[in-house]
Structure 1
Amino acid sequence: MYTSVVTNLYLNNFLQIELQASAQSSTILVVILLLLVFLSFSISGSQAAIFSLSEKDIDVLKTKQQPAARRIIDLLDEPKEVYASMIISKTVLNICLIILTNYLINQYTPPEYLHSVYSIAGKWLLIAFFIIFPLEIFPRVWARQNSLRFAYEWPVLVFIVEMIHLALGRISRGIVTVADGMGKILGTDNAEAYSLQEFDEAIDIQTDDEVSPEEKNIMKSIVKFGKISVKKVMRSRLYVSGIEYETTFDQLIEKIKDVRYSRLPVYKGDLDEIEGILNTKDLIPHLYEDNFDWHSVIRPPYFVPDSKLIEDLLLEFQKKRMHFAIVVDEFGGTSGIITMEDIQEEVIGDIKDEFDEDELNNKKVDEKTYIFEGSTMLRDVCKTMHLPVETFDDVRGENESLGGLINEISGELPNQGSVVRSGDFEFTVLEVERNRVKKAQIVIMLQ
């Protein structure tokens, strides 16, 4: 009897230890489950928030100095890779959640019900509802409705995405490289360009004979209008005429007579220090005054980022009743200027007034040879040569002018007479001025 009592005591102690260990193990698993739920929720919401940011939201983030804003901008520098990292992590997390949830449910399900059809169906419905709704649908809907707030005001979420991408970056880049290669082989990367080309062809074919080529070009330009950024249309600072703040009134009048512009930026020292905009018509009542203080008629400048879409800028010009803006880069330096006329010309073509000089230096030599100023925008080069505007997108880098394109292809400063080739095009530098291409010749090698 003594032996039986001792045996029972040992068994009871053993069972208690097992139960305690099981309870501790379950607690740890529940904590791990909650951590996985938080990570899955964070990734789903961050993915929806970051990739639903509009151009305006991104412009706002570029003006912020907080680490969270800089992290988002850095992540968007390689969107495909970041997206791939988030998809990989989400897949792994969902698999772990399914396995862990299934295990915990089995732990608290009576053995006689484990293999019941209704029990199995209910268990998987519960797992599906537990993962799909709270961890997939809800955070995505919430984040899309509050994309900027979700991405920027909760920096811990962006930090999580950044750490995941840091861990999975190499794998993601490999996947993106393979996907891009397949896209090039199958032609899916050019789907948008093909659709625009098909639209252009449809305009050419289906419009009647009474429609002039100019009207057809206007219809084509309207389709592409919403995708053009300020950087592609602006006049570079290299070709901007401005007024130094310390200029005397007499010198100002002579400058205006020389440049013949209705609006001019006023700067101190250089164009990175813009003080305002001078509207020359404001000087008319004071033309015959001696030593008139022309600084009193300077108007406040209006700054826009070079990444802004001209469609949005046109609406702002209309609301603010403005015609002139200073374009700034991501560091706040002056990139150039853009006017209402520049935007209108993207739709209806060049607008010439009595003061505009003909661009005699841009000319067509023959069907395969053209000569352009180095400052000519690549969009204008393509239009003149009757090529798609995206012809040089793969080789131009961040450059928007012909001179910049030649520098990008050659990889060095230009020399007069230098010849560089890219694809079906041969570029010859005809004139160089202060380490920049002043004039170049383009020859189409294959037609």
Structure 2
Amino acid sequence: MTLALGLTLGAIVGLLVVSAFFSGSETALTAASRARMHALEEDDNVRAKLVTRLLSSRERLIGALLLGNNLVNIAASALATSLFLGLFGEAGVVYATIVMTVVVVVFAEVLPKTYAILNADRMALAVAPILKVLVAVLAPVTATLQFLVRHTLRLFGSSIADDADVLSAHEEIRGAIELHHKEGGVVKLDRDMLGGVLDLRDLAVSDIMVHRTNMDAIDADLPPGEIVDAALRSPHTRLPLWRGEREEIVGVLHARTLLQALRDSKGDVSKIDVMTLAAPPWFVPDTTTLKDQLNAFLKRKAHFAIVVDEYGEVMGLLTLEDIIEEIVGDITDEDDIAAALAKPQPDGSLIVDGLVPIRDVNRLMEWDLPDEEATTVAGLVIHEAQTIPNPGQAFTFHDFRFEVLKRHRNRITSLRVMPLDKHRAETKETDAAS
């Protein structure tokens, strides 16, 4: 009797140890750093290669771990129930349930998972060889379970692809950046720059281009002297040339090329033929992603492109600097007026030009204004209000208050934007003062 009792207790303890191994292994492998494993792989670490191989078939791995964990837990509970029934009779069922619940939760779940979270990479490397064998042995069973799960889900209208992944690599990186920023490990500037790189694949050139109404272009039919004067007045080094209509771009004039021509002609402007100096315009579709356009700029060793829509109509222009600014933020110089277009106020509001992109406002103020339906702040107000508002009108949506300050013809030129919580606090202070 004593021997049988000892063997049963030993079996229960052994099964709990195996259960703890399964629980800790599951947590370690799911929490292991894929970047760290990849770095170790580059150093020919055999165990790191095993971890990567196991994670490449995550569903099969988790299925094997859960199957093994449940088997040993059920076996341990059955043995404990049998043991307590022999000691306490029918009341042993209650005792076995209480004792096994406490023991399994503490020693087979919480304790190993906590250790695994704190030592994820090290534990993942340690258990990888054992799990490789386990996954191979249980492969037929886990494959059957996968088949049953997928077809059961399909009965309820849910389909899981074999290569389905909840988060893309870009979203995982973005989430990690945001997490480290909140924890203080990544400063705002670095977060914005890293996020800007990831955003290049999600943005089209139409999202950041200079709209045609703001293009600084020159009429190619003007006398050479007037063209030179216009080029000197412009803060830009590359200027589109148009003929007939402003949207008919026929060339791009570079200020340095014009300066060289002035030197060669010894200052005689009448000898300058602007069209022979101009480079042919490069037209790009407005739906091109910034990532593809950046690669195209680098491939062509170009800095300037004219953006057109599906009908070939000129929509605006895009420069290499515009794309770089999406990563590093606004690049200002002595001729740049961008800083004057968005001015944070002491009360937490923002005085902003209507043409400022919503993305720039969100980056500057750390807000979360939606930019799915509109690119600029003015566009967002018009979209939500379903009208072109007059100065003095105010609107509230997306937890922000938008007050129109100035309007020129049909264009909103100035707005005051404030989060609702700050606006309510300001209103209460004003009421209290009065």
Q: TM-score, normalised by structure 1?
A: 0.53
Return the alpha-carbon distance in structure 2 between the equivalents of residues 406 and 382 of structure 1. Answer: 15
- 2:340 counterpart SS class: coil
Specify the alignment match of 1:280 in structure 2: 255
Which residue identity lines up with residue 234 of structure 1 in the other structure?
M
Deviation at 1:207, TM superposition (A): 7.1
Could you say which residue in structure 2 is the equivalent of 1:270? 245
The Cα RMSD (Å) is 2.7
Match of 1:300 among 262, 276, 280: 280
Residue type of the alignment partner of 1:200: I
Structure 1 437/195 Cα, relative in aligned 2: closer, same or farther at 3 Å? Answer: farther
Deviation at 1:272, TM superposition (A): 2.2
Query: Are the structure 2 counterparts of residues 191 and 216 from structure 1 closer, same or farther at C-alpha, using a change threshold of 3 Å?
Result: closer
- Alignment partner, residue 327 of structure 1: 307
The partner residue of 1:371 within 351, 369, 377 is: 351
- Tell me if 1:353 matches 2:322: no
Residue 194 of structure 2 aligns to a residue in which SS?
helix
Give the Cα separation in 2 of the matches to 1:365 and 1:241.
Answer: 30
Alignment correspondent of 1:64: none
Q: Which residue of 2 aligns with 1:201?
A: 178
Letter in 2 for 1:442: V
Q: Write the deviation string for residues 36-68 of structure 1: whole angstroms up to 9, x where unpaired.
A: xxxxxxxxxxxxxxxxxxxxxxxxxxxxxxxxx
Structure 1 segment 216-255 matched on structure 2, within 5 A: 216-255=191-230
Runs of 4+ more than 6 Å apart: 189-194
How many Å separate the matches in 1 of 2:302 and 2:370? Answer: 33
Instruction: Please give the alpha-carbon distance, in whole angstroms, between the structure 2 residues aligned to 1:371 and 1:204.
Output: 27
2:163 is matched with none
Amino acid paired to 2:209:
M
The answer to whether the aligner puts 1:435 opposite 2:410 as a matched pair is yes
Instruction: Tell me the CA shift for residue 204 of structure 1.
Output: 1.4
Give the Å deviation of 1:277.
0.8
2:101: which partner in 1?
none
* Paired residue type of 2:352: F
* Alpha-carbon distance between aligned partners in 2 of 1:405 and 1:362, rounded to the nearest angstrom: 16
SS in structure 1 of the partner of residue 221 of structure 2: coil
Where do 5+ consecutive residues of structure 1 fail to align? 1-178, 180-188
Q: What letter is aligned with 1:280?
A: A
TM (norm. structure 2) is 0.54
The answer as to whether partners of 2:250 and 2:280 remain within 8 angstroms in 1 is yes
SS at match of 2:327: helix
2:423 aligned with 1:445: no
Residues 281 and 359 of structure 1: CA distance in aligned 2, closer, same or farther (over 3 Å): same
Structure 1 match to 2:370 = 392
Structure 2 unpaired stretches of 5+: 1-156, 158-165, 423-434
| Structure 1 residue 322: Cα displacement | 0.6
Aligned length: 254
CA positional deviation for 1:295: 1.5
The answer to whether the Cα contact below 8 Å between 1:327 and 1:338 also exists between their aligned partners in 2 is yes
Cα distance in 1, alignment partners of residues 416 and 362 from structure 2: 14
Correspondence for 1:167? none
CA displacement at 1:197 relative to structure 2: 6.0
CA distance 1:444–1:197, change in 2 (3 Å): farther
Q: Give deviations 1:122-157, integer Å, cap 9, x for gaps.
A: xxxxxxxxxxxxxxxxxxxxxxxxxxxxxxxxxxxx
Deviations 1:148-189 (A, max 9, x none): xxxxxxxxxxxxxxxxxxxxxxxxxxxxxxx9xxxxxxxxx9
1:273 CA drift (Å): 1.0
1:217 Cα deviation after fit: 2.3
How far is 1:225 from its partner? 2.4
Q: 1:381 Cα shift?
A: 1.4
Aligned to 2:319: 339
Distance (Å, rounded) in 2 between the aligned partners of 1:215 and 1:264: 33
Matched ranges for 1:79-228 at <5 A: 198-204=175-181, 208=185, 212-228=187-203
Structure 1 residues 404 and 315: alpha-carbon distance in aligned structure 2, compared to 1, 3 A threshold: same
Distance 1:254 1:364, change over 3 A: same
Q: Tell me how far 1:196 sits from its aligned partner.
A: 7.0
Name the residue aligned to 1:289. Answer: 268
Question: 1:405 is paired with a residue of what secondary structure?
Answer: helix
Distance (Å, rounded) in 2 between the aligned partners of 1:286 and 1:197: 49
- What per-residue deviation string (whole Å, max 9, x for no partner) do you get for residues 235-276 of structure 1? 111111101121111111211122121001111132321111
Q: Deviations over 1:83-104 (max 9, x none)?
A: xxxxxxxxxxxxxxxxxxxxxx
Amino acid at match of 1:377: P
Identity %: 28
The alignment partner of 2:305 has SS state of strand
